[in-house]
């Protein structure tokens, strides 16, 4: 379900230039709209994305199998990465407007280097994503294998 948030943004942007993606954007919107009302998504967009993505990977069976079986984890990672990059970008833009630099503490990031906003935070972002991915992956694996921890 969480992948619908990413799908909404991605398909909406793609939909500006191509009518092909507009129905998918509408479906994603329906899904997100239901999600904010705490209702389950009923447009099966996640299933469609999962299956279509897996179908594209069928030439590499191991990768296809991994994607299919761990799609929930992957979609969480994508969603968190999406929000993390959104927050970092917003933070960078805020700094750029207020202080004239996307990272006032860094000497490498200047006003005229607007396109480097992401690059300024690249290392922090990647580290954060990796940590979150590991946590999520471990969580889903524990859940999947039904491993229980006993604390005395």
Partner 1 sequence: MFNVNKIREDFPLLKKTSIIYFDNACTTQKPKQVIDAIVRYYSEYTGCAGRSLHKLATKTTEEFEKAREKLAKFINAKKIEEIVWTKNTTEAMNLVSHSFKFEKGDKVITSNLEHSSGLLPWQLLAKKGIIDLNFVLCNKEGEFNIKDFEEKIDNKTKLVSIIFASNVTGTKAPLEEIIKIAHDNGALVLADGAQAVPNFPVDVRKLDIDFLAFSAHKMCGPTGMGCLYGKYDLLKELSPFMLGGETIRDADLKDHILEEVPHRFEAGIQNYAGAIGFGAAVDYLSKIGMKNIEDYEKELAKLLVEGVLKIQNLNLIGPKDWKKKNALVSFNIKGMEPHDVAILLDESNIAVRSGMHCAYPFHKFIGFDKGSVRASLYFYNTKEEIKIFIEKLTNIAKTLGK
Name the residues that contact partner 1, by CB under 8 A.
Answer: 44, 47-48, 50-52, 54-56, 58, 61, 64-65, 68-69
The number of residues in the chain equals: 152
Q: Is the Cβ–Cβ distance between 33 and 46 less than 8 Å?
A: no
Nearer to partner 1 by C-beta: 20 or 48? 48
Q: What 8-state DSSP symbol labels residue 74? A: H
Nearer to partner 1 by C-beta: 65 or 127? 65
Q: How far apart are CA 120 and CA 92, in angstroms?
A: 9
Nearer to partner 1 by C-beta: 47 or 122? 47
Q: How far apart are CA 56 and CA 39, in angstroms?
A: 30
Nearer to partner 1 by C-beta: 82 or 140? 140
Nearest by Cα to 52 from 32, 30, 27, 82? 27
**Cα separations (Å) of 73 from 26, 45, 132, 137?**
24, 16, 10, 6
Nearer to partner 1 by C-beta: 54 or 116? 54
Q: How far is the CB of 48 from partner 1 (least distance, A)?
A: 6
Two tokens, residue 126: 């990647």
Q: How far is the CB of 41 from partner 1 (least distance, A)?
A: 13
Q: How far is the CB of 95 from partner 1 (least distance, A)?
A: 44
Q: How far is the CB of 84 from partner 1 (least distance, A)?
A: 29
Q: How far is the CB of 123 from partner 1 (least distance, A)?
A: 36
């Amino acid at each position: 379900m969480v992948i619908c948030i990413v799908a909404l943004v991605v398909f909406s942007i793609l939909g500006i230039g191509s009518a092909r993606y507009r129905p998918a954007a509408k479906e994603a919107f329906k899904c997100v709209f239901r999600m904010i009302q705490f209702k389950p998504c009923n447009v099966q967009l996640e299933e469609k994305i999962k299956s279509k993505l897996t179908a594209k990977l069928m030439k590499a069976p191991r990768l296809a199998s991994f994607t299919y079986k761990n799609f929930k984890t992957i979609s969480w990672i994508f969603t968190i990465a999406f929000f993390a990059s959104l927050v970092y970008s917003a933070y960078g833009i805020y700094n750029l407007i207020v202080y004239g630099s996307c990272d006032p503490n860094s000497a490498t990031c200047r006003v005229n280097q607007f396109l480097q906003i992401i690059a300024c935070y690249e290392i922090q972002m990647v580290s954060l994503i990796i940590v979150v991915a590991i946590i999520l992956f471990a969580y889903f694996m524990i859940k999947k294998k039904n491993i229980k921890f006993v604390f005395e």
